[in-house]
A and B are shown apart, each in its own frame.
Chain A
Amino acid sequence: MTTKTDVTNNELPPYRKREALNRWIISLPALSIIMLAAIGPILIMLLYSFMVKGDYGGVKLWEFSFDGWINVFFQRDIFDETLGLADAHLTIFWRSLKLSILTTLAALAFGLPTAYFIATRPKHTREIWVFLITIPFWANLLIRTFAIQEVIRNEGIINNTLLAIGIIDSPIQMLYTDGAILFGMVYVYLPLMVLPLYASIEKLDFRLVEAGYDLYATRLKVLRRIILPMIKPGMIAGCILVFIPSLGAYVTPRLLGGGKNMMLGNLIESQFGAGRNWPLGSAISITLMLLVMFALIFYVRNATRSGANHG
């Protein structure tokens, strides 16, 4: 990338030769819209997280307190004002983290063979397979989650089939469980795993695989020692792309987890809705954002390291 820009900027077309000021002016609309309707509000939310909560939602403006942040992990006993761990919140944090990690692993388990399968098809059919993976992705997230809901409900196709075959006597309750959220998230985010994996498997030099076999390596050994190390950047990219939206998921747990099995996204919503605790909701939001940032930083560090390794 750097080499490309180096070559072109010697002969910039005249309209770009103007000073940096012009570049700021033409990027101003994009920058200011995002500042106005994304970054600015998040900064204000950061401020809100340090204010005293209003009695009917909102905050008492300019009355500061750390209660919002303390309440993320602790709760005050109503009788003796001592602090104890907020078990309900910790459960939700733990569930979010656990389900996101499991979603990522399951997506990898299904996504890797799928991406490998696509990448090893003949060239002219490959595009069609990629297209087949992306189509469900372009369908509305809500619609896909609803589709899952329909399949796993008590009268849905899975239970009906199992009942008909006689494996079970009464329907299994699948909807409104953690398992349903997991299944739903794997389903909706799978293309995000397959696409980067496909991109790196497609570039794989199969002569190296052949060399491995020639040297009497077993299939497992070739997979573990040759293929997996070479597609590691794609694996990391896919995992990050699945992990991040899973952690912040809102629609999927709401429709498939019901009211009991909340994730962080639903906890945040409940603080702005029925909970009427905006500072707490803001603090949880900022925490979620930081968790995502950590994941991204981890990714960038890994990507640059493996990029350096491969030249």
Chain B
Amino acid sequence: MGSRHFNVRTLPGFGFIALLTFFLLYLPICMLVFYAFNSGDSIVQWEGFSLRWFEVALKNDAVQEAAGRSILIAVIAATVATICATMAALATTRVKPYPGLVFKYAVINQPLMVPEIVTAVALLIVFSKIKVWTGYSGLTYLILAHTAFCIPFAYLPIRARLESMDSGLEVAAGDLYATPWKTFRLITLPLLRPGIIAGFMLAFVISLDDVVITEFVKSGGQETLPTYMLGQLRRSITPEVNAIATVFLAFSVLLVTAFFFSSRKKT
């Protein structure tokens, strides 16, 4: 028959479904961005191009405050999580199995294995009690909660990097009478840097995006950008939400793109 010339790698219909999937994946996001530029009050009725809603969003004090708080929490949580994850990775990678190693893996990966809503209500129970006892209801609770679920995300790339690293250089440094600290600072840390940067970026984005845990842990007046948007979605929606979402989206995409191209150059 005429079917002798086919490419063994293609399957009929697969290409079509794949392109349809990409189309469906991007259509809603494109619509959302599109209506952020609407001059009218509606998120579905196009009335003309304008940057009006971006101006409204940027001048909105609540948005500014929420965005600032989101970034503050994400920077602190990602930094602490990355430091903790690096230390934990050093203790759990390139080692002979030792008692407690499996326990450590289980604890570090626990936030990945439990649904967020479960952790969220558990934190609500405990933190609401502590808030009453101590009278303190600052940002520390949110930062602590974010740090905890950021640790496994920071840990993954750091551990992967460490596992692929050759310990020869470190052994050589030791042979040349470098102190352990000096070996770590001058050899291990520079070699580990790509993993640490990847871990930090991952943790940062995860913290910035969090809705569920933040929604349950936050005290009054501690809106982050995602929880602020969630609140807005319950009310009548204007393209202002689209504008906020568009800026947020652009920020995440830029971050990931920058990371993608920087990591591609090295390998």
Report A's interface with B, CB cutoff 8 A. 1, 4-5, 8-9, 11-16, 20, 22-24, 26-27, 29-31, 33-42, 44-45, 48, 109-111, 113-114, 116-118, 120, 127, 131-136, 138-144, 146-151, 153, 155-157, 160, 187, 190, 206, 209-210, 213, 219, 223, 244-245, 247-248, 250-251, 255, 264-265, 268-269, 272, 278, 281-282, 285-286, 288-289, 292-293, 296
Contact = CB atoms under 8 A, between A and B. Distances in A.
B101 to A, nearest CB: 9
B91 A37 contact: no
B180 A13 contact: yes
Interface of B: 6, 8-22, 24-29, 31-32, 35, 42-45, 80-81, 83-85, 87-88, 90-92, 94-100, 104, 107-108, 110-111, 113-127, 144-145, 147-149, 151, 155, 163, 167-168, 170-171, 173-174, 180-181, 183-184, 188, 205, 208-209, 211-212, 216, 226, 229-230, 233, 241, 245, 248-249, 252-253, 255-257, 260, 264
B239 to A, nearest CB: 10
A27 B122 contact: no
B126 A26 contact: no
B256 A134 contact: yes
B151 A117 contact: no
A269 B12 CA distance: 45
A247 to B, nearest CB: 7
Contact of A118 (B18, B25, B116, B211): B18
B147 A26 contact: no
A5 B95 contact: yes
B209 to A, nearest CB: 5
List the 9 closest A-B pairs by CB distance, nearest first.
A248-B115, A15-B180, A117-B18, A13-B170, A147-B28, A37-B148, A41-B122, A113-B17, A30-B88
Contacts of A110: 17, 20-21
A5 B120 CA distance: 37
A148 B28 contact: yes
B106 to A, nearest CB: 10
B226 A140 contact: yes
Contacts of B209: 140-142
B116 A23 contact: no
Contacts of B127: 41
Chain B interface mostly = helix
Chain A interface mostly = helix
Contacts of B147: 33, 37
B151 A34 contact: yes
A265 to B, nearest CB: 4
Contact of A15 (B11, B88, B118, B183): B183
A27 B8 contact: no
22 contacts: A26-B88, A27-B92, A29-B87, A30-B84, A31-B88, A42-B119, A44-B126, A113-B16, A136-B25, A138-B253, A140-B249, A147-B245, A150-B28, A150-B44, A155-B45, A156-B44, A157-B27, A251-B212, A265-B115, A268-B118, A272-B121, A272-B124
Given A44-B126, A116-B11, A288-B118, A36 B21 contact: no
Nearest to A19: B98
B180 A34 contact: no
Contacts of B15: 113, 117
B229 A142 contact: yes
A14 B180 contact: yes
A38 B148 contact: yes
A24 B118 contact: no
Contacts of B180: 13-15
A45 B25 contact: no
Nearest to B154: A30
